[in-house]
Structure 1
Amino acid sequence: MTDAFAPHVNSTPSPLIRVGDSYDMADNGHHCSRTLNIDATLRNMTMRARFVLIAIAQAGSRITFEDLKNCIDAPYSLQGMYRVQHAITFDCRLRDEPLLSSLVVSKATGEVSDGMPVDPLDPDDAAKERDRCYLHWQTHDPFPTD
């Protein structure tokens, strides 16, 4: 996809990623170059995750992979939830928003997983991105009417 991270002006809650889009996960900090292909299921899961993660950000909290999987009724295994997390990251970048994926953490560590756009070995990096999410979503209406 060309110009994948140019921000788009869009106030709709629907993801800006589209069915048929492809993204290189290395662009999200993944340790290897893998293609993430957006199908209808992944787009739907991304939209559901966006709603949940905005509410989590407004509450100033975090959510585990397992809890997010259950909240959005994802058809993926826990290991397969990386697809949703990467899709959410691409969607946030397309919107020029803080990365909602920084709110999704490991149950064991309470921090983001390896391969995400924030440094999993630097808790300050993840914390800064979470703080950006909290500030943004506590001061912005996710569903503007005008």
Structure 2
Amino acid sequence: MVTTPDAPTDAPGATAPQDLVLTTGERYPVGERLHTLTPRLARATADARQVLVDVAAHRETITYGELSEEIGGTVLPRHMGPLLHMLDHDCAARGEPALAALVVSAASGEVGTASTTWAPPERLACWEYWAP
């Protein structure tokens, strides 16, 4: 499991773990709703970011189940939506390609969104951006 140094994130408006540029306690779009970035979700998102940067550097993909295992099961595979949306917000705020494009279904080998057309170009952009 990849871990990151703990940062105080319990106070509303506190900065998320140092690996994120998002703010704990803030609400971010997740689908058609707003979702609060809780300290627990912030930690899981930061851990997922570290895993996915490494996956990108190796020009690979990872399944939802494998990502869940890598972050210690803190988010189950079928509940990854909010985490991946937060990760997308974090990547966008940094001007980076969407790391969520690297997370695929074991059955299909593709992202689990209704439209998958966005993922291949983002995946390629991730591989190029984080290439060693």
TM-score by length of 2: 0.81
1:35 matched to 2:28? The reply is: no
Residue segments in structure 2 that go unaligned for 5+ positions in a row: 1-16
Cα separation, partners in 2 of 1:13 and 1:111, compared to 1, 3 Å: farther
Greater RCO (Cα-Cα under 8 Å, separation 6 or more): 1
| Pairing of 1:92-103 with structure 2 (within 5 A) | 92-103=91-102
The amino acid that maps onto 1:23 is: Y
Q: CA RMSD in A?
A: 1.7
Q: Which residue of 2 aligns with 1:90?
A: 89
TM-score by length of 1: 0.74
Paired with 2:66 and 2:42, the residues of 1 have a C-alpha distance of 19
Query: 1:138 aligns to what SS in structure 2?
Result: coil
Identity %: 30
How far is the alpha carbon of 1:75 from its aligned partner?
2.3
Residue segments in structure 1 that go unaligned for 5+ positions in a row: 1-11, 140-146
Query: 2:96 aligns to what SS in structure 1?
Result: coil
| Pairing of 1:13-32 with structure 2 (within 5 A) | 14-25=19-30, 30=31
Paired with 2:128 and 2:26, the residues of 1 have a C-alpha distance of 30
In the TM superposition, structure 1's runs of 4+ consecutive aligned residues that sit over 4 Å from their partners are none
